Amino acid sequence: MQPMNFRIFLAVLMSIVVSATAANGESIQVRPYKDRLFAYPKVLESRDGGAFVKIDYRSARDINKRDQVPELRARRDYVSLRPKRQQRTLTIRSPEAAVETYEVGAAKKAKFAVIFIHGRGGDRRLGVKDWTFGGNFNRLKNLAVRNGGVYYSPTIPSFDRVGLEHLKTLVTYIRRTAPRAPIVLACGSMGSLLCWQGSNDPGISSRLSGIVILGGTGDESFLRSAAYHARVPVLFAHGSGDSVYDWRGQHALYERVLYATQQAYPIRFVLFQSGSHGTPIRMVDWRDTLNWMFKVGG
């Protein structure tokens, strides 16, 4: 083989390898976007090799100085409306459910997908609010759009078998439109019940690359689930002042998983000191979370 032809052969071979790696989700790296604004404040405590961190959360700084109108409208520099051009509503139907959802980003052959499940009394509108929660949903939408991913915010009618069928219908749709996209399932408050049910549903768990519990509840049946045995990464984010779900319940599950696996399981717990029930939705660092899950989830 001539030297030039050999170099061309190597270039083509490397291109195939890189493409295959990207297709399998192994090289997904979410690029920086407003990292300085959305980075965690000071770490007050760290243990378990950094898996558990307590964050210095202060409403005077993290709400009043971050929002133009506290809890209603973030300051302009936290928000970019670029994803609006790729945000649409649709109804996804199956024999079991008709799922009304927002879809943000290019769904076909997306590199990754994120699903947000609201809590009691919510609907699909919650997860696409650009200006509330300090602009954190807007950042998530931007991270998806700017990195070739897709984001879904569906309406879930209940958090029982009916809701599970809605979630399964959405996951099946993603499998059709983006067959190789890893899926991160994020559940807020009572929506966490669906995260735990989905972790042991074959139609859902087999596609999960991460579970995010935002001010939710724990479920020890997770240790017997398919997602647990597949070592799907889990992140808990909770406020220490949450009056709806005490953070200690989720922390007990976190410790149970660490104990059962001799601290080998990919799991994290982010505790916001003095934070309330909605603090995790406002404060979770989405880029840090997604990159960690794509890295350790394989």
pLDDT tens digit string along 145-174?
999 999 999 999 999 999 999 999 999 999
Alpha-carbon gap, residue 39 to 49, rounded angstroms: 20
Q: At 129, is the pLDDT very low, low, confident or very high (cuts 50, 70, 90)? A: very high
Q: What is the pLDDT of residue 238?
A: 98
Are 65 and 79 in contact by the 8 Å Cβ rule? The answer is no
Looking at the fold, whether 157 and 277 belong to one and the same domain comes out as: yes
Looking at the fold, whether 82 and 5 belong to one and the same domain comes out as: no
Question: How many structural domains is the chain composed of?
Answer: 2
Looking at the fold, whether 48 and 184 belong to one and the same domain comes out as: yes
Question: What count of other Cβ atoms lies within 10 Å of the Cβ of residue 38?
Answer: 22
pLDDT at residue 49 greater than cutoff 80: yes
Q: What is the pLDDT of residue 21?
A: 39
Q: At 298, is the pLDDT very low, low, confident or very high (cuts 50, 70, 90)? A: low
State the residue range of the domain holding 154: 31-296
Average pLDDT over residues 219-244: 98
Q: What is the pLDDT of residue 297?
A: 86
pLDDT in tens, 255-270: 999 999 999 999 999 9
Give how far Cα 293 sits from Cα of 98, 265, 266, 296, Å.
30, 12, 8, 5
Looking at the fold, whether 8 and 101 belong to one and the same domain comes out as: no
pTM: 0.91
Query: What H or E segment, with its residue span, contains residue 198?
Result: helix 192-198
Q: What is the pLDDT of residue 15?
A: 32
Q: What percent of the chain has pLDDT over 70?
A: 91
- Strands 267-272 and 52-55: what pairing? parallel
Q: What is the pLDDT of residue 193?
A: 98
Mean pLDDT of the chain: 92
Looking at the fold, whether 265 and 158 belong to one and the same domain comes out as: yes
Average pLDDT over residues 14-29: 46
Burial track 223-240 (b if 16+ CB lie within 10 A, e otherwise): eebbbbeeebbbbbbbbb
User: In sequence order, what E strands does 106-247 have?
Assistant: 113-117, 150-154, 183-188, 208-214, 234-239
Looking at the fold, whether 77 and 182 belong to one and the same domain comes out as: yes
Looking at the fold, whether 116 and 197 belong to one and the same domain comes out as: yes
Q: At 109, is the pLDDT very low, low, confident or very high (cuts 50, 70, 90)? A: very high
Q: What is the pLDDT of residue 136?
A: 98
Looking at the fold, whether 97 and 163 belong to one and the same domain comes out as: yes
pLDDT in tens, 83-105: 999 999 999 999 999 999 999 99
pLDDT at residue 10 greater than cutoff 70: no
pLDDT at residue 19 greater than cutoff 50: no
